[in-house]
Structure 1
Amino acid sequence: MSLPRMQPRDGVAWVTGASSGIGEAVALELAARGWTVAITARRLEQLEEIARRAAGLPGRIVAHAGDVTDTASMRAVVETIESVHGPIALAFLNAGVAPPTSGRILDIEALETALAVNTLGAARGLVAVLERMTSRGRGQIAVNASVVGYGGLPLAAAYGASKAAAIHLCETLKFDCDRLGIRLQLVNPGFIDTPMTRRNDFPMPFLLGIEEAGRRVVDGFEKGGFEITFPRRLSWTVKLVNLLPYPAYFWAIGRFTARYAQRRRN
């Protein structure tokens, strides 16, 4: 079965977590390519400001408040978007958080927050939009995860676990989505210059600007492969390291992170 690569004439695009960062950049890039883009987050004022910035672009942006941690809210947002603007042809389930940890080996509150937004938030969006796309027999959905989800890293238990779960979720659902005629994609970015990553106190190799990240994500929607990952110098390196046997993997990651820790101390 040939899976669709949706275009603006097929309906509207929906982007969650669009009040800043990658979600904002992707929404603006989609509007620049002619899409009507419905953007969702809890902060309606910020969404409306982004919508105003899209004035003059070939497409447009419309704001709809919604909370990805609330199943009823996600269903209501999808119903409103489709009743007002038309069918959702392309969904980018992007909402994500990197909660600060307390310094404990495992911070259960941080883990619960990360899973609630990064994993279950994506799942709630998937459920809400899959119901509509399944009835139409076509559609395109992308879920934003991270290269951090490829394997365990120091000090990333909460964030990494939530992104690893999102990756596994998409890998599993792809089989059913293929059968239903729905293209499911997985977005695994490396380090992007966003308000979230600016809090990091460690070096971020191959850091990309936010506008470039937005372009690469939307390019990936148009190309249609399962995984959209960038920069490849980072993502493929991490993939290769994760092929190592565990003793070699832990040694390599330990050496790499210890080197950067030493640089920070100096």
Structure 2
Amino acid sequence: MNSDKPGGRLVWITGASYGLGREVALQLAARGDRVAVSARSADKLKALAGEAPEGCILPYELDVTDRQAVADTVARIEAEQGPIDLALLNAGTHEPISAGDFNVDTVRTLVELNLMGTANCLEPLLSRFRARGQGHIAIVASVAGYRGLPTSAAYGATKAGLINMAESLKPECDRLGIKLQIVNPGFVRTPLTDKNPFPMPFLMEPEDAAAALIRGLDGNGFEVSFPKRFTWMLKFLRCLPYALYFPMISRATKQ
């Protein structure tokens, strides 16, 4: 199956138990894709599967920080459902951290889940897609990876790492016939963003963010970002010298 063709694909989504991943799963299933969904909560995956017609959403309980479990799950999905056409690597979490409460355990938790969890998924996927000469992978990072933001020292570092990882892999993936994209959302209303202690401009509802993400997956651009007005503002800030950037970001976030 051509993974660029909407509908009829086998899609694998990690971090699908709530928020953006959950909504993308529902919208893709509604337009005809079969969607294998993974997360650590079997109950939430079962509930998600119950919201779609039978056989459209397929739950596979998984902790992406377990490298062997990830490899086994990819193998199981393909043995039971057929070749994965599109993998949306969305599993991740956010914990605010500042200079006043900086904690190595928090940093390590986010690195293991956000960064290494994605790498654990890439390993078996790239191996299988290389052998086939085709496949589609989308890695969910964040606009927080563009530049340092207050309380985002750990989260932003992992997302910047994902962006760099995808950029590094992109040229070779092109040669191998693998479509690789990076997804950089702005603020989306989820339990994670509810932890943010600062104003969140252009906050999107999960349904709207999922629709924007899916439109990006259907396209051929490397980066999928939304909402556009907000992401272009942040890209402009990325170009500013530190002498201008730090005062601006401090005022904007009231730090």
**What TM-score range do you get, normalising by the shorter chain?**
over 0.9
Partners of 1:106 and 1:179 lie apart in 2 by: 42
How many residues get paired?
A: 254
Report the alpha carbon displacement of residue 196 of structure 1 after superposing the two structures with TM: 1.1
Q: Is the 8 A contact 1:18 1:39 kept in 2?
A: yes
Deviations 1:115-153 (A, max 9, x none): 111111111111121111111100110000000110011
What are structure 1's unaligned runs of at least 5 residues? 262-266
Q: Is the 8 A contact 1:5 1:222 kept in 2?
A: yes
Matching residue's letter, 2:4 = R
1:63-212 alignment runs, 5 A limit: 63-101=59-97, 104=100, 106-212=102-208
1:21 counterpart residue number: 19
Partners of 2:25 and 2:242 lie apart in 1 by: 40
Matching residue's letter, 2:251 = R
2:211 counterpart residue number: 215
Partners of 1:148 and 1:232 lie apart in 2 by: 15
Partners of 1:69 and 1:101 lie apart in 2 by: 21
Partners of 1:6 and 1:121 lie apart in 2 by: 28
User: SS in structure 1 opposite 2:50?
Assistant: helix
Q: Is the 8 A contact 2:98 2:151 kept in 1?
A: no
Deviations 1:61-101 (A, max 9, x none): 00001111011011011000000000000000000101244
TM-score of the pair, normalised by structure 1? 0.91
Q: Is the 8 A contact 1:107 1:158 kept in 2?
A: no
Verify: 1:5 aligned to 2:7, yes or no: no
User: SS in structure 1 opposite 2:88?
Assistant: strand
Q: Is the 8 A contact 1:17 1:95 kept in 2?
A: yes
Percent of paired sites with the same residue? 45
User: SS in structure 2 opposite 1:88?
Assistant: coil
Q: Is the 8 A contact 2:97 2:153 kept in 1?
A: no
Correspondent of 2:247 among 251, 260, 263: 251
Q: Is the 8 A contact 2:96 2:196 kept in 1?
A: no
Report the alpha carbon displacement of residue 155 of structure 1 after superposing the two structures with TM: 1.4
Partners of 1:103 and 1:247 lie apart in 2 by: 20
Partners of 2:75 and 2:203 lie apart in 1 by: 37
Matching residue's letter, 1:143 = I
Correspondent of 2:51 among 42, 50, 53: 53
1:40 counterpart residue number: 38
Q: Is the 8 A contact 2:94 2:192 kept in 1?
A: yes
Partners of 1:241 and 1:216 lie apart in 2 by: 23
Partners of 1:189 and 1:45 lie apart in 2 by: 27
Instruction: Describe the shift of the 1:246–1:173 C-alpha distance in structure 2 as closer, same or farther (beyond 3 A).
Output: same
Q: What root-mean-square deviation, in Å, do the aligned CA atoms of Structure 1 and Structure 2 show?
A: 1.7
What are structure 2's unaligned runs of at least 5 residues? none
Matching residue's letter, 2:221 = G
Matching residue's letter, 1:196 = L
TM-score of the pair, normalised by structure 2? 0.95
User: SS in structure 1 opposite 2:85?
Assistant: strand
Report the alpha carbon displacement of residue 103 of structure 1 after superposing the two structures with TM: 6.3
Instruction: Describe the shift of the 1:100–1:252 C-alpha distance in structure 2 as closer, same or farther (beyond 3 A).
Output: closer
Partners of 2:72 and 2:5 lie apart in 1 by: 23
Partners of 1:114 and 1:126 lie apart in 2 by: 17
Q: Is the 8 A contact 1:13 1:91 kept in 2?
A: yes
